Chain A
């Protein structure tokens, strides 16, 4: 991770050098103090497994319409059928199967959006903080501009321009989330760039690229990891919101927000078509936010109680 040419700032006379395993153990020690965070990791891992094995877990196909079972309630209510654990929707599709397949979309959206916004954010932030001057000014004014708009509104208008759909939704959300990463990276770079280990790496002959990516970047990662986690949940929420407004994933895609949009007209007749997709969104977002809180406690040295 760290540049061998640069003395690791963590290594000094008081603390013996720590290996990667040791460091992870230290991290886990602080992380596991937060019980909520451990629960969050557990639930999130479960969701990932569900998403990966969706076709094998789901009792039915997410698009199969059971014509004899329209708006069937869950089995614990009168009129429910055991084969449809969470009931069926207005065209007779099994809600549980759709939710299980929907997990794939939500997690994929989160992963792609975070990857996109994190990687561009790191690039811009490193560039701005390292190069300074007009590059910095232009980039940061651009970021300020994006941040001047309420994020969901901007994403909404972008999707309206680009055309509704899952891919455009992800692009739009990545674009509105990206300035946070740029700003964070830049401020971390500004804090690190004049440190002695960077100067020494420069004196040792490290080039710009090496200085930026191998020397400075690894030492700016902690706040970025926390932000990435929080953005992951924001991305899922915003994508669901766009789906709900009819601009995200299009029916019959079993995306949770889109499912809610389809279910809206039945809310007073069939509560289950509305309740379960929303619950799925809430549980996913909550588990990620729990992890994010735990990560912040574990990675933020200011809050560390050592």
Chain B
């Protein structure tokens, strides 16, 4: 197991270096002089220009600059935002819990609905139920989620008035961020109604972000289940006279879930991309909206660090999924 873990860690090393090179190159390929970009529209005197060149180290060879950049990353220095003047990592860490909270809710929504849907569709293969479910899943898979979000707002916030349009919690409530998760913090604050408010703000973004993963999980569960249901050991279990429920729950499902778990892991990257759209629609103060705002404000250090940090998060999650996969499936571990 240790060897397997070490091997996996070794494998992500080139990816890590690659990601940092891309993020580093990002500022370099920007049209225009980086110093003039930082100086802004008022411009700088030639002396000040030289000062800035030296201060930011742009006068040194490119590879020295890269290693400086890399060393900075290891010390937690991801640059400074032009607009807020704060270290980028600080803003990221403040906003990231909002994105995690939303993503966790969305993936829970997708798995809690998608896995049972896939199982039922597979067991009832070919029936109208299966066809309707898979038809719906394909619609969900083809859904422009930024449009879905808007439709949900029209229906649930506009016409029915059930849910709020944007934000994480009603402005009535204020309490310090302890965990960064609004639902937990609202419970901790003990204020009446705060938790309900946080929850109601979560519903529409969760559905919006969770729709595509839901469709993917349902389709994947169905096809994995169909494959397993045709296996000899399932037939043997049936032939022994085991009740169908037990055959499906005990024999089929366990084996069918392995590819499903991989699929869920792969959805994390999709979710980070989806979070950009979802957060923009619902003014959800997470890293996705932060990136879009930074692009709009031409706050390039934020865009650069955001790209790097999100890629690192996805890489780490993939590594964890990979390791978990090895834990449940010895065949992978001993390859």
Contacts and interface: CB of A to CB of B under 8 A. Distances in A.
Interface of A: 36, 141, 144-145, 148-154, 156-157, 160-161, 163, 233, 237, 240-241, 244-247, 257, 260, 264, 267-268, 271, 274-275, 277-278, 281-282, 285-286, 289-290, 293
B135 interface: yes
B144 A153 contact: no
B276 A282 contact: no
A179 B296 CA distance: 28
B52 interface: no
A150 B269 contact: yes
A267 B158 contact: yes
Contact of A285 (B142, B157, B158, B315): B142
Nearest to B21: A145
A293 B273 contact: no
Contact of A145 (B19, B135, B314): B19
A144 B12 CA distance: 10
Contact of A149 (B135, B157, B307): B307
Interface of B: 14-15, 18-19, 22, 26, 29-31, 135, 138-139, 141-144, 146-148, 150-151, 153-154, 157-158, 269-270, 272-274, 276-277, 280, 291-292, 295-296, 303, 307, 310-311, 314-315
Nearest to B298: A160
B291 A153 contact: yes
Given A150-B269, A153-B307, A278-B151, A240 B144 contact: yes
Contact of B277 (A160, A245, A293): A245
Given A157-B303, A286-B138, A260 B146 contact: yes
Contacts of B315: 148
Q: Which 9 A-B pairs have the closest CB atoms?
A: A278-B147, A152-B273, A145-B18, A285-B142, A286-B142, A150-B273, A150-B269, A160-B295, A150-B272
Summarize B's interface: helix, strand, loop or mixed.
helix
Given A245-B280, A268-B154, A237 B18 contact: no
Given A151-B269, A285-B142, A286-B139, 8 more contacts: A36-B135, A145-B22, A148-B18, A156-B295, A161-B31, A245-B277, A245-B292, A246-B296
Contacts of A152: 273-274, 276-277
B309 to A, nearest CB: 11
A144 B139 contact: no
B270 to A, nearest CB: 7
Given A149-B19, A241-B277, A271-B154, A260 B147 contact: yes
Contact of B18 (A144, A245, A268): A144
Which of A36, A156, A247 neighbours the largest number of chain B CB atoms within 10 Å of its CB?
A156
20 contacts: A148-B18, A148-B314, A149-B19, A150-B272, A152-B274, A152-B276, A153-B273, A157-B303, A160-B295, A160-B303, A161-B30, A240-B146, A241-B144, A241-B146, A257-B146, A268-B154, A282-B139, A282-B143, A282-B144, A293-B138
A61 B15 CA distance: 50
Contacts of A241: 144, 146, 277
A233 to B, nearest CB: 7
Contact of B147 (A161, A246, A281): A281
Contact of B138 (A144, A151, A267, A289): A289
A237 B144 contact: yes
A256 to B, nearest CB: 8
Nearest to A271: B154
A271 B157 CA distance: 13
A257 B150 CA distance: 12
A193 B143 CA distance: 39
Contacts of B157: 268
Contact of B295 (A244, A247, A271, A274): A247
Contact of A267 (B29, B154, B291): B154
Contact of B150 (A153, A154, A260, A290): A260
Contacts of B144: 237, 240-241, 244, 257, 260, 278, 281-282, 285
Contacts of B151: 274-275, 278
Contacts of B147: 260, 274, 277-278, 281-282
Nearest to A163: B31
Contact of A244 (B29, B277, B314): B277
Nearest to B22: A145
A156 B273 CA distance: 10
A153 B303 CA distance: 10
A153 B276 contact: yes
Contacts of B314: 148-150
B146 A150 contact: no
A157 B144 CA distance: 20
Nearest to B270: A150
Given A160-B295, A245-B277, A285-B144, A267 B135 contact: no
B227 to A, nearest CB: 11
Nearest to B313: A150
A152 B153 CA distance: 23
A161 B26 contact: yes
B19 A267 contact: no
Nearest to B155: A271
